[in-house]
Amino acid sequence: MPIAKVSLSLDPDLVDAARHRVGGRGLSGYVNEALRRRLQHDRLAELLEELDRSDGPLDPAVLEEVGRAWPVPGSRRRRA
């Protein structure tokens, strides 16, 4: 797979933490995966916004049901 060399300005504390986690040689892959996930997240958010515009917002009752079935980790919601 071809690669593109880039120069980035990053928070030094983040770089140190990432290097500590993956080692010096794993930093590029770690940043690449983080960028891939962020782009997926952004595309999903765009899709949801588009669906809201075309189909209207979800029914609050449906959102509540989904929240009970799949609670957010660390939230206080519990399954019924």
Q: pLDDT tens digits, the chain, 80 residues: what are they?
A: 899 999 999 999 999 999 999 998 899 999 999 999 999 999 999 999 999 999 999 999 999 999 999 988 877 655 44
Buried/exposed code over 35-66 (b: 16+ C-beta within 10 A; e: otherwise): eeeeeeeeeeeeeeeeeeeeeeeeeeeeeeee
What is the Cα gyration radius of the chain?
Answer: 19
74 secondary structure, DSSP code? T
pTM: 0.71
**Residues 77 and 68 sit within 8 Å (Cβ to Cβ):** yes
